Amino acid sequence: MKRVVGLVLIAGCLATAVVASCRSWTQQVLRFQDGKFTVTETVEDGATCLQITGWTFHSGLVIDHVDEVRRGDTLIVSVVLVLAGQEGLTGHLDHRVVVPPGVVRVVFGREEHEIWHAPP
């Protein structure tokens, strides 16, 4: 009996780990063309800042959070969506990006739609 309980616990832990690791693979990331967005560039204290605002075209999905990942000289902005119905979440995007030194290009989503590039 103890062995069966132990095997069930191990199987449950493995299943939880697999689901957690797959979550990042299956996250719905907003595509730039799936919304109406405006990107406004400003310079604050010598740093380039981008204000991304607008609405998604998805009626059944809302914005959960925004990730920024640097890859070389490119900053990737990913807007992660979840099913609508969670209190406090909407399809409205209002996100400020401070462009780090050395970044010459900012792109949006997995398709890497370019929303900004440094002047030549």
**Nearest to residue 58, comparing CAs of 23, 94, 89, 83?**
83
**Number of independent structural domains in the chain:** 1
Characterize the bridge pairing of strands 28-29 and 92-98.
Answer: unpaired
Q: Which residue has the tokens 């609405």?
A: 55
What is the per-residue pLDDT for 27? 87
Structural domain contains residue 106: yes
Structural domain contains residue 14: no
Characterize the bridge pairing of strands 47-56 and 92-98.
Answer: antiparallel
Q: What is the pLDDT along the chain (120 residues), one digit of tens a residue?
A: 556 555 444 544 443 333 333 444 568 999 999 999 999 999 999 999 999 999 999 999 999 999 999 999 999 999 999 999 999 999 999 999 999 999 999 999 999 999 999 998
Structural domain contains residue 46: yes
**Sign of CA pseudo-dihedral 95, 101, 106, 112:** negative
Whole domain around residue 112: which residue ranges?
Answer: 28-117
Cα distance between the two ends of the chain: 71
Distance, in Å, from the CA atom of 64 to the CA atom of 89, rounded to the nearest integer, reads: 7
What is the per-residue pLDDT for 11? 46
Structural domain contains residue 85: yes
Q: Do 46 and 98 touch, CB atoms closer than 8 A?
A: no
Structural domain contains residue 23: no
Structural domain contains residue 17: no
What is the per-residue pLDDT for 19? 36
Q: pTM score > 0.85 for this model?
A: no
Q: Do 62 and 90 touch, CB atoms closer than 8 A?
A: yes
What is the per-residue pLDDT for 4? 56
